[in-house]
Amino acid sequence: MNYNPYSLENKIILVTGASSGIGKTTAIECSKLGATVVITARNEKRLKSTFDELDKSFGQKHQMIIADISNTEGLEYLVSGLPTIDGLSSNAGMAVGNKPIKFIKEEDVQAIMQTNTYSHALLLKLLFKKKLLNKNASCVFTASIGGTISWGPGNTIYGMSKAALESFVKYAAVEFAPRGIRCNSVCPGMIETPLINLDALTDEDKAIDADKYLLKRYGQPIEVARTTAFLLSDASSFITGTSIVVDGGYSVNH
């Protein structure tokens, strides 16, 4: 028998925002570590692409649920189709590009807070109320250093949504600890995903920005996914209420 405390074999993991970027990579990585994965997103074509890439070498029977969890109906539809789960990787997120405060619109604030903050909180509430979280389940939320460490101009709404999410995770860790349920967040720096192309930054701008990182580059989705997988595994069984920064040394350099 191979000893591997990082294994996710025999665990059922729900991954939201699984159609692209960090969510997609996390779902695939969890499947490679043995997890049975339930993936969800609102784009059926892209989610099917993720589903086709999931590893099945452990005999897993993965599940795909199309749902828009930015609204109550989508959340309830998702939860109605779930088995009890051992872990949650909550990645749903959006951005509106680079907008200074004076150009912020109310609808921008509502849309980003709904997706980046409220949907995560309400999903966890439903999972708990409907007894879909197994004993000693682990819940991991993708936040950002843009919420609590890095404050760049034009990133206000996104940053405040992620800061609120980080705060929620710590409260959740306190409330759910008596049930043995762990709640943590992962806070990436700039990661090479489609979201970074929403900012009006040239390749030269990005190169200058990447130079601020100690490792002199942006991160890759797999580097965040593996941190999330660690928090979902029994190897992190004494970690809860924590934010793990995955930023290539950016925060140390500022």
pLDDT for 183-213, tens place per residue?
999 999 999 987 665 555 677 878 888 999 9
User: Which is it for strands 36-41 and 133-142: parallel, antiparallel or unpaired?
Assistant: unpaired
Question: Measured between alpha carbons, how far is residue 226 from residues 34, 134, 216, 222, 232 in Å?
Answer: 13, 22, 20, 6, 10
pLDDT band at 147 (very low <50, low <70, confident <90, very high): confident
Quick check: 153 pLDDT over 80? no
Averaged pLDDT score across all residues of the chain: 93
How far is 219 from 166, CA to CA, in rounded Å? Answer: 20
Share of the chain above pLDDT 70, in %: 96
Ramachandran angles phi, psi of 170, nearest 5°: -70, -40
Q: Catalytic positions, please?
A: 158
Quote the pLDDT of residue 201. 66
pLDDT for 8-56, tens place per residue?
999 999 999 999 999 999 999 999 999 999 999 999 999 999 999 999 9
Burial 150-178 (b: 16+ CB within 10 A, else e): beeebbbbbbbbbbbbbebbbebbeebee
Quote the pLDDT of residue 175. 97
Quote the pLDDT of residue 97. 72
How far is 241 from 139, CA to CA, in rounded Å? Answer: 10
55 close to 8: Cβ distance less than 8 angstroms: no
Quick check: 136 pLDDT over 90? yes
pLDDT band at 152 (very low <50, low <70, confident <90, very high): confident
Task: Return the C-alpha torsion angle 193, 190, 89, 122, nearest 10.
Answer: -100
For the chain, report the end-to-end CA distance as a whole number of angstroms.
45
**Bigger pLDDT: 240 vs 104:** 240
Quote the pLDDT of residue 199. 57
Stated pTM of the model:
0.94
Average pLDDT of the segment spanning 63-89: 97
Stretch among 29-33, 201-205, 219-223, 249-253 having the lowest mean pLDDT: 201-205
CA-derived radius of gyration, the chain: 17
Average pLDDT of the segment spanning 138-166: 90
